[in-house]
Amino acid sequence: MYNSALNLTRLLGLAAIGAVIAGCGSGDSSGDPPPAGTARIDVTVSSDSGPVSGAAVSFQTTDASGANKKYETQTGANGNAILDMPLAEVRGVKQPAGTVVKEGYEPQTIICAGFDKDPAYCEADVKLIALAPNVSIPVNGDTVWHIGDSNYQGQVNSQLQKKAPDGPTLEFEISDWAAQVAKNGVTKATVVLDHKGWQTSLCPSNTIAIVGDAGTVSRAGGNSPDDGGWGGGQQEAAPFDFLVQGVGTLSAKVRISAGACLGPDLDDFEINRMRVYFCGTDYQGKHGSCIPAE
């Protein structure tokens, strides 16, 4: 479900804006093994031009008190970075995830099977993709967010890496909306994101919408894998397509809301790596969307 250049047995992470900075790593690999009680991420980031320096590598989790924590570093001149975290804060999460971010490129997600050994060690080789002119990254959409009310259990949505929710509804500004919809022939926007624990089949009032200066267009949310892992991305069987008519031409945001499930409880799920593709209705993309066909 992710870029073929990524190894799905590996991990990185990126935290939400406003989270407490809990620690940071060095910009280059030391070659030494991590100490006991540590979860280490060892990542090398490249592009078609070679190693990428200054790429943000970070991971978000929740400590024992329920407070959000953010671990962050940057890649060095050789594209490598080391990020160390307390193992106690990340152990036991199924497919912990995060993001590598660099301006001018699409954010990338890496998945690790989990931090279970002591010490724990994950490697990642990430190839960044240049940001295409018709692709927008919503503000803060390149981070891991927990949407819901923190009342969750079960196989699908009990595997979240952030125990504390960021809210029942979150909005992400598409800062270049006016410029994108002003382009000749643009009539449609496709929202792409990675998601975990999203159960719209059981919580039908889950929604994803584009909210603009002239109105709102919305549709039902998605459904993540039944094993509690990450899904979504460009391989989504039913991409989130929206006609831009009725949204407006000045400004717009992506809005994601958790809906009620059985009783008053809201669905709890995580999202990451949000992107918006723009095209015309006659564009023959993947699944009929604005995503380029392979």
pLDDT in tens, 69-107: 889 999 999 999 999 999 988 888 888 887 899 999 999
Q: For the chain, where do the domains classified as CATH 2.60.40.1120 start and end? A: 20-127
CA angle 6, 11, 12 (to 5 degrees): 100
Q: Domain 135-288's class? A: mainly beta
Q: What is the pLDDT of residue 290?
A: 94
Residue 198: name the closest of 263, 96, 272, 269 by CA: 269
Q: What is the pLDDT of residue 33?
A: 84
Within 8 A by CB and 6+ apart from 118, the residues are 36, 37, 87
Helix spans in the chain (H):
87-90, 154-157, 177-181
By residue count, the chain amounts to: 294
The CA distances from residue 248 to 133, 216, 244, 280, in Å, are 20, 9, 7, 16
Within 8 A by CB and 6+ apart from 119, the residues are 33, 34, 35, 36, 37, 38, 39, 40, 87
Question: How far apart are the C-alpha atoms of 244 and 234, rounded to whole Å?
Answer: 20
Q: For the chain, where do the domains classified as CATH 2.60.120 start and end? A: 135-288
What does CATH list as the number for 20-127? 2.60.40.1120
Residue 12: name the closest of 142, 132, 148, 163 by CA: 142
Residue 106: name the closest of 232, 251, 276 by CA: 276
DSSP structure string for 266-291: BP-EEEEEEEEEEE-TT---GGGSSS
Helix (H, G, I), strand (E, B) or coil at 226: coil
What is the mean pLDDT for each group of 10 consecutive residues in the chain (294 residues)? 30 28 44 88 93 94 81 95 90 83 91 87 91 96 90 66 90 98 96 93 95 97 89 81 95 97 87 95 90 84
* pLDDT one-digit tens code per residue, 52-62: 999 999 898 88
Question: Which pTM value belongs to this model?
Answer: 0.85
